[in-house]
Amino acid sequence: MAAEPFAGFLPEPIPPVLMTEAEIEKQLDTLQNIAAASQLDNSTLYHALLTAPKRRRVVDGILTKLIGEPIMRLISQRSELREAVEQSYDAVIVCSLPTVPDDARTVLLDELTALALRTMTPTPLGLPEAMADVRQFSALLTELIAVIIGRLDLTRHGPDIYICMLHPDVPDAEGFEIILDYGEVWDDSRQATAQETHIVTIQPWVGRHAAIRAWHDFVYVLARELNTKCDFSH
């Protein structure tokens, strides 16, 4: 009887799994359709993924138009007052975010990818190299998730990240799981520390071969899912 192809531990290095061109095209269509369907929140997600200083400049510009320069100068001197004003205008700020052109979105996604590649160990790789090797692709995916979480969650250090996936090359309609482990975190309601772990399912998983061909769409969908399924309003 034939052995299960992915039972137990995979051999090292992890072997690639070939896909037919027809299967790659099918998964590619799935990925691109998901990305296209999520463009309605393009501006909100884009600005959530900016660095903190860039995000602050955008919000400053919107608030200045809303409340005027004199009041803006006043609240800028008191962080608690500024926070209260931002919260009260939160919905208006979101609706006032500037439209993001496609080229700016692409530049941002390339920036996130470059940061992920830079933190890969032991030696940083170029994107083609990281994509070409199954193990390196998995490492890139982990670092990319860390970069995205770091942009979305400005209030604390990033979690340990674990990925549960059948195989990077194998499409899975049920998706794959991302485990975010923040360790022991203080719980105000219980007045005690508690283990904080979040599990995020990215569904479906289209496989490495399709993700390579539409990398920007893949990064965008990954960021959108993390932003949608995690609560970063601490």
Do 222 and 135 lie in one domain? The reply is: yes
Residues 122 and 75 in one domain: no
**Closest to 147 in 3D by CA, of 44, 219, 218, 206:** 219
pTM of the predicted model as reported, rounded to 2 decimal places: 0.86
> What's the confidence (pLDDT) of residue 107?
96
Report yes or no: 116 and 136 within 8 Å, Cβ to Cβ: no
Q: How far apart are CA 105 and CA 53, in angstroms?
A: 18
Buried b (16+ CB within 10 A) or exposed e, 125-139: beeeebbebbebbbb
Q: Does any domain span residue 5? A: no
Instruction: Determine, yes or no, domain membership for 8.
Output: no
Q: Residue 216 half-sphere exposure, CB side, CA atoms within 13 Å?
A: 13
**Co-location of 74 and 127 in the same domain:** no
Residue 204, preceding peptide bond in cis (omega within 30° of 0): yes
Residues 63 and 127 in one domain: no
| Closest alpha carbon to 136 in 120, 150, 119, 155 | 120
Residue 79 lies in a domain: yes
Asked if residue 108 and residue 216 are part of one domain, the reply reads yes
Domain that holds residue 107: 21-40+101-229
Task: Determine phi and psi for 22, rounding to 5 degrees.
Answer: -65, -40
Residue 47 dihedral angles phi and psi, to the nearest 5°: -70, -25
Residues 164 and 81 in one domain: no
Q: Is residue 77 part of a domain?
A: yes
**DSSP string for residues in 20-31:** -HHHHHHHHHHH
Same domain, yes or no, for 213 and 126?
Answer: yes
pLDDT computed for residue 32 by the predictor: 95
Residue 165's alpha-carbon distances to 55, 85, 156, 189, 206, in angstroms, are 33, 43, 27, 34, 11
Which of 84, 99, 114 corresponds to the end of one domain? 99
State whether residue 149 is helix, strand or coil: helix
Residues 140 and 115 in one domain: yes
Q: What is the pLDDT of residue 1?
A: 36
Count of structural domains, the chain: 2
Same-domain check for residues 26 and 134: yes
d(C-alpha 95, C-alpha 65), whole Å: 13
Per-residue pLDDT of the chain (234 residues; tens, 9 = 90+): 333 344 344 556 678 999 999 999 999 999 999 998 876 567 899 999 999 999 999 999 999 999 999 999 888 888 888 889 888 999 999 899 988 888 999 999 999 999 999 988 777 789 999 999 999 999 999 999 999 999 998 777 889 999 999 999 999 999 999 999 988 777 777 777 878 888 999 999 999 999 999 999 999 999 999 998 887 754
Structural contact between residues 227 and 48, judged by C-beta atoms closer than 8 angstroms = yes
* Of 147, 156, 154, the residue nearest 196 (C-alpha): 156
Do 172 and 159 meet the contact criterion of CB atoms below 8 Å apart? Answer: no
Confirm if 67 and 85 have CB atoms less than 8 A apart: yes
